[in-house]
Chains A and B, each alone.
Chain A
Amino acid sequence: MSCDVLVVVEHNEGRLKNVSIELLSYFGRLGKDNGVKVVAFVFGDQISEKLYCDIGKLGILQIVSYVDNDLDMQPGLIAGMTVGLAKKIKPKLIVMANTVRSRDSAPLIAQDLDIEMYSDIIDIDYKKTVINLTRLIYGGKAIEKIKLLNQQALITIRPNVLGNHENEAFIPKITRLKINELPINQTYITKAKITKEKAQKPINEAEVIIAIGRGLRRVDDLNMVNDLARVVDGVIGSTRPVVDMGFVRRSHQIGQSGRSVSPRLAILLGISGQIQFVAGISKAKTIIAINKDAKATIFKSADYGIVGDIYAIIPILTRELRKLKLQNR
C-alpha cells in the first residue's frame, strides 16, 4: 500500500470528531476529483463497524486501524504507531487536526520521520505538484505562506476552516496495523483525569463561540451568558483578565497567549479588542461585538457591532435567537 495523504483520525469513543469529518471529507473530495490516494488511520478504543462506515461515507476507501481498548492516548505511543505506519506507506503528506491531542504527538512524529511540520494551518490548496499552506504569525499581524513542492511534511489543520464536503460513500477497505515495538522510554503514566466541571468542548473546535471580557462584572452573571450559549449551541471563551479572575478555564482563553480559533460565529461581549485578544479570534467567519463604548477597538475587527450595555442586550438577544430557532424548526 502506498498513498499520497495519511489522515490521522480523532474520535471520541467511536464517534468522529467534527474536525476529523472536515479533514476526511476534504481529502475524500480530492481523492475523487484529483485521484489523490488517501489513507485514514484510526486507533484507540470503541472502534466499531459503524466508525469505519462513517469514514467511508466521507469518501475514504482505505482505512488502517489499530484497535486497543486500553490504549493510553499519550504522545509517545501515538507517535510510535504513526511513525511505524508512515514508514510503511510513505505518504507525501501527513495530516492531523490542530487539537491538543495531535499537537502533543505531531512534533515527535515529524522529528522521528526527519521531516518538516507546519502547525495550525488555516488554508490549504492541494495540487498535484504543489501544496500551498497558510498560517498566521506575529499575533495575527502577518500571514505565512508555505509552498510545499515535493518533500514529505506533516501538517496540523485548525478546526472549522475546511468545512464539510459531500462525497460519494465508499465501503472502505480495512487493514489492521501490526505493531512490533513502541518507544517505551518516551512514555509516561497517566495517573488520573480530573474533570472540574462538566466536560466542555475544546474552544478551538467550537463552531459558535460566546466570548466574554471584563464587561462581565460578576461570576454569577455567567448564567446570563450560559443562556445565550445554549440557544446558539455555543462554547464560552474569554479574554485573559476574565481567566485570571477565575471565571473561565484557562484552556478556554482566546488570544495570543491562549487559543487561536476559527468558529463560524463569534459573539464578543464587553471586550475592548486589544491586539493580544484579537490575534486569537481574527479568523472567525463572522464576528458580532457588543460593547458600551462606541470607540472600542473591537468594532474594527467585527462584522456587526452593537454599541450598548451587555446586561441590557444579552437577555433580549437570547430571547430573539430562541424565537428564531423555534421558527426554523
Chain B
Amino acid sequence: MKILVLVKEIIDTNSKIIFDKQKKIDESQVKWVVNLYDEYALEEAIRIKEQYGGEVVIYSVGRDRTKDTLNYIMSMGADRAVLIKSERSDAKSVSEILAKHIGERDGDFDLILAGWIGIDCNRGQVPGRVSSILGVPFVNVVIKIDINGQTVICEKEGESSNEIIEAKIPSLITVQRGINEPRYPNILSIMDKTEKKIEIVENIDQIRGKQARINIEPEKDRKKTYMINESDSELAVKMLMKKLIADKVM
C-alpha cells in the first residue's frame, strides 16, 4: 500500500496571536505546529502500513520553516516526506500544487489520508479539492477505516446517523478525532535530523487571476456580563429569569 498523508503546518492557536501595525499577524511571535487532525491521519496511515506493508509519504505545502515541523511529525514513523515550497496559502492554490506534485511523483498511490479540517483557518477545502483534481472518490469525516482487498470500508460521521461506506482504492479519505490515539514521535528520531528523507521541492507559483481582497482583524470581546453571585439557588434563578424577560431573551 502506498499511503500519502496531507499535512498542514499551522499557527498554534494556543499561542497568543499578535497583530502588527499593518494588522497583519506577527508570524515571528507564533509557534508552528502540525494541524491536530493530520496527526490522526498519519497515525492511521502508519497503522495500515504496519498491517499490510507499504510506504507512508507525507505531502505538505509550506515554507522553509516547515521542515522542522515535518521533521518532528515524521518521527511518528513516516517513510519520507515531500515539502513543496510555495508562497501560496489559499486553499485553491495549495490544492492544485499538492495534486500536481502528487501526480508527478506518487501518482500510483492507494490512499490519500488527511485531517478533515485545519483548525487554524477552518476552511475544510483542500482534501476535497485534491480528490476532485485527481479524480478519486472523496470520503469526508471518517472515524473508522478497514482495508478490504481492493476497496476500503469507512465509517463516516453523518448528520444524524453514521454511514458505512465502501470506496474503491485509490480514494481520498479525511479523518476525524476518535479514529485513533496518535503515538508520540520517537524522541531519538526527532533529535537525529540526518536520517530522515525530506525532499524539498520548489514550486513555480503561477500568476493568479483576479482575487478577492482579504483582511484579518482581531475579534472583539463580548459586552459586559450580567453576573449573579447568590448563594440561594432559587433566588439566583429568579433573578436570571427576570433579567432574561426584561432583555427579551425569553
**Interface of A toward B, CB cutoff 8 Å:** 75-76, 79, 99-101, 103-108, 110-112, 115-120, 135-151, 153, 183, 185-196, 199-202, 250-251, 256-257, 260, 265, 275-276, 279, 282, 286-288, 294, 299-309, 312-313, 316-317, 320-321, 324
**Interface of B toward A, CB cutoff 8 Å:** 11, 13-14, 17, 19, 25, 36-37, 90-92, 95, 119-129, 131-133, 135-141, 143, 153, 155, 157-168, 171, 176-178, 209-219, 221-223, 225-231, 233-234, 236-238, 240-241, 243-245, 249-250
Residues from chain B with a CB closer than 8 A to the CB of A100 are 141, 157-159
Decide if A256 touches B13 in the complex (CB within 8 Å): yes
Decide if B133 touches A111 in the complex (CB within 8 Å): yes
How far, in Å, is A316 (CB) from chain B's closest CB? 5
Residues from chain A with a CB closer than 8 A to the CB of B133 are 111
- Which of A117, A119, A193 is the one whose CB lies under 8 Å from B122? A119
Decide if B178 touches A111 in the complex (CB within 8 Å): no
Give the 6 A-B CB pairs with smallest separation, nearest first. A107-B128, A139-B13, A188-B167, A199-B160, A111-B132, A195-B161
Decide if A202 touches B160 in the complex (CB within 8 Å): yes
How far, in Å, is A324 (CB) from chain B's closest CB? 6
The A interface is mostly helix, strand or loop, or mixed, namely: mixed
How far, in Å, is A239 (CB) from chain B's closest CB? 13
A sample of 9 inter-chain contacts (CB < 8 A) reads: A76-B137, A147-B214, A151-B210, A151-B212, A185-B136, A188-B168, A260-B122, A306-B228, A313-B233
- Which of B17, B136, B143, B233 is the one whose CB lies under 8 Å from A308? B233
Decide if A196 touches B162 in the complex (CB within 8 Å): yes
Tell me the complex Cα distance, A135–B161, Å: 28
The residue among A116, A145, A183 with the most chain B CB atoms within 10 A of its own CB is A116
Decide if B250 touches A324 in the complex (CB within 8 Å): yes
How far, in Å, is B80 (CB) from chain A's closest CB? 27
Chain B residue at minimum C-beta to C-beta distance from A193: B161
How far, in Å, is A313 (CB) from chain B's closest CB? 5
Residues from chain A with a CB closer than 8 A to the CB of B136 are 185-186
How far, in Å, is B180 (CB) from chain A's closest CB? 13
- Which of A141, A145, A304 is the one whose CB lies under 8 Å from B215? A145
Decide if B14 touches A275 in the complex (CB within 8 Å): yes
How far, in Å, is B173 (CB) from chain A's closest CB? 10
How far, in Å, is B236 (CB) from chain A's closest CB? 5
Decide if A307 touches B237 in the complex (CB within 8 Å): no
Decide if A137 touches B132 in the complex (CB within 8 Å): no
Decide if A186 touches B17 in the complex (CB within 8 Å): no
How far, in Å, is B22 (CB) from chain A's closest CB? 14
Chain B residue at minimum C-beta to C-beta distance from A315: B233
How far, in Å, is A140 (CB) from chain B's closest CB? 6
- Which of B37, B137, B218 is the one whose CB lies under 8 Å from A188? B137
Given A142-B219, A190-B164, A306-B236, answer yes or no on A299-B227 (Cβ-Cβ < 8 Å). Answer: yes
Decide if B122 touches A145 in the complex (CB within 8 Å): no
Decide if B132 touches A146 in the complex (CB within 8 Å): no
Given A116-B90, A146-B212, answer yes or no on A108-B233 (Cβ-Cβ < 8 Å). Answer: no
Residues from chain A with a CB closer than 8 A to the CB of B229 are 294, 307
Decide if A142 touches B17 in the complex (CB within 8 Å): yes
Decide if A139 touches B119 in the complex (CB within 8 Å): yes
Given A139-B119, A306-B237, answer yes or no on A257-B177 (Cβ-Cβ < 8 Å). Answer: yes
Decide if A320 touches B241 in the complex (CB within 8 Å): yes
Tell me the complex Cα distance, A270–B129, Å: 40
Residues from chain B with a CB closer than 8 A to the CB of A196 are 161-162
Residues from chain A with a CB closer than 8 A to the CB of B92 are 110-111, 115-117
Decide if B162 touches A194 in the complex (CB within 8 Å): yes
Tell me the complex Cα distance, A304–B210, Å: 45
Decide if A144 touches B216 in the complex (CB within 8 Å): yes
Tell me the complex Cα distance, A201–B228, Å: 31
